Amino acid sequence: MTELKNDRFLRALLRQPVDRTPIWMMRQAGRYLPEYRATRKEAGSFLDLCKNTELACEVTMQPLRRYPMDAAILFSDILTVPDALGLGLYFEEGEGPKFHKTVRSEADLAGLNDIKVEDDLAYVMNAVSAIRKELNGSVPLIGFSGSPWTLATYMVEGGSSKDFANVKAMAYDKPELMHGLLALLADAVADYLAAQIKAGAQAVQIFDTWGGSLSAAAYKEFSLKYMQRVISRLPTEADGRKVPVIVFTKGGGQWLNAIAECGAQGVGIDWTTDIATARVLVGDKVALQGNMDPAMLHASPARIRDEVALILAGYGHGTGHVFNLGHGITPGINPDHVTAFVDAVVELSPQYHLAD
């Protein structure tokens, strides 16, 4: 494989010395970029874009042409695994993802497809390989999946939800059924991420978007336990280099102590958690990723710069910090404000690494 020219993202996740704080941005390939909107129009639909190797590679590269990001992230969707399981993923404009089928009974669970991810999700692996080749060692490539719990919420609810009534009812009233679904998903996600690593992903992130909807006890039982199961099954090295795992539970700041013990090298935090407090809580167990409020990108470049300075100072001196938003960038952001955001991290962070 081509030698990696910029590895500060991987080094920071392993808490190794870096010259400045690395930065990437969740949903950095997305609707805020006019070039992305043009490519999606060419593809015809979001799913067609995900499944077109050339176009998925193109949109992955687009933000890297604009900004000095320290990592690329695979362009795909978190719901590819449930789609392959046979639920029939589709998107309705303005309503988000939906499934033609749901899983709410033992019969539904038994009726899911047996999948071999390298075959049934070959389009994802093709995209990973193409992106890795296109990057040519410039920055690392991040692969990803939804967490078992997050995937289960969509599969049981049939789409997005505000109250998670059906999936929580299953968890609390039919825990054996829920654990059966989560075990199946954990093993599928582990196979999926392992296949991405084999295809060329150099780090992976588990998006636990809806873990924060659970109580503390339920989070550990239904979400964290199954992310640990995923991580325990992943290869730890590829191409002679460690492959770090990042876990991001939106709304999970109150469980940082437990999350830091799950086996991941990095823990993402959203904007509701103070990064200085988070660093004290996790100590030197894991790196931290985050955590500027995505809405801050609506502010002036000067205000964005001040916020970046505040977060960098909050984390303080030393390695183990990957700068990111506290969730994905939203569609209406001015790309020039992203320039201000990234430039501020690049310019202000070296002072925190002088003795590294």
- Which residues are annotated as part of the binding site? 27-31, 77, 154, 209, 327
Told to judge if 343 belongs to the known catalytic residues of this protein, a careful annotator would answer no
Query: Is 104 labeled as catalytic in the residue annotation?
Result: no
Q: Catalytic pick from 31, 66, 233, 241?
A: 31
One-letter amino acid of 146: G
Indicate which residue of 66, 77, 233, 274 is catalytic.
77
CA distance 141 to 132: 7
Other C-beta atoms lying within 10 Å of the C-beta of residue 236: 12
Contacts of 40 (CB under 8 A, 6+ apart): 31, 46, 49, 59
77 catalytic? Reply is yes
**Rounded distance between C-alpha atoms, residue 249 and residue 210, angstroms:** 7
One-letter amino acid for residue 260 of the chain:
A
Tokens matching residue 80? 């590819």
Instruction: Please say if 226 is a catalytic residue.
Output: no
Say which of 8, 11, 27, 279 is annotated catalytic: 27
Nearest 10 degrees: CA dihedral of 68, 69, 72, 78?
-140
Across the strands, what pairs with 142? 73, 203
Q: Is 154 a catalytic residue?
A: yes
Q: Which residues pair with 99 in a beta bridge?
A: 89
Annotated active-site residue in 154, 219, 315, 352: 154
8-state DSSP, 6: -
- Contacts made by residues 86-93, CB under 8 angstroms, sequence distance 24+: 86/111, 86/112, 86/113, 87/112, 87/155, 89/47, 90/47, 91/45, 91/46, 91/47
- In the three-class reduction of DSSP (H, G, I as helix; E, B as strand; rest coil), residue 221 is classed as helix
Q: Which residues are annotated as a binding site for substrate?
A: 27-31, 77, 154, 209, 327
- The catalytic residues are 27, 31, 40, 77, 154
